Amino acid sequence: MLESRIIAAQSDDNFIERMLFEGEVLSGVDIARIEFESVQFTQCQFSKCNFLKTSFYNSVFENCNFANCNFMESYWKGSKILTCKGDGSNFSKSTIKETSLADGSFRYADFSSSVLEYCTIHDCNFTEAFLSEIRLKKPTLKAVNFTGADFFKTLLKGIDLSDCIIDGITVSDTRNELRGAIVNAGQAVELAARVLGIKIV
């Protein structure tokens, strides 16, 4: 049903609203520039689908898999991404506002050059994700794994990372990204050791 609704929207107004899609399986489908309003996706599988410039307003992805899909320049507002797998997905140059991400996996995902405003991210895995040149405004971060993530040119001033794992994150040589970031004592020691080039035993 979802694929037929997408085809209909593309030939009409590019708009889908107030619908529930459950257990859908889509592969290689072009979903670019569709607007979803108050739509819920539950246990859906998306393989190599193109969500370029797609918009999601007050919509929910729950227990879905969209790993390696393209969400470049997508727009999100008031939405939720819950217990989803987005490993390797491309969210670069996207705008994400007042949106919640919880219990999800976004390993190796690309969020570079995106804008995140008033977002909540809980219990998510962003290991080795690309988070460079992101504009962050008042995010809430709890139990997020940023191991090896790339924060190059992402200013973290005032961002509370104290409940997150930030081992091995990538920043510039000047480390300006970390100025004013909020970290716990253990994180501060590890970051200081990296700056000084010493090993802690």
The verdict on residue 177 lying in a domain is: yes
What is the model's pTM?
Answer: 0.94
Q: Which domain holds residue 118?
A: 2-196
Q: Which residue, 126, 157, 163, 119, is CA-closest to 142?
A: 163
The domain that holds 118 is classified in CATH as 2.160.20.80
| CB atoms inside a 10 Å sphere around CB 121 | 23
The verdict on residue 18 lying in a domain is: yes
Could you give the number of structural domains in the chain?
Answer: 1
The 10s digit of each residue's pLDDT in 12-55 is 899 999 999 999 999 999 999 999 999 999 999 999 999 999 99
| 100-102/80-82 β-pairing | parallel
| CB atoms inside a 10 Å sphere around CB 35 | 18
Angle at 158 between CA 156 and CA 161, to 5 degrees: 65
The verdict on residue 201 lying in a domain is: no
What is the Rg, in whole angstroms, of the alpha carbon atoms belonging to the chain?
Answer: 18
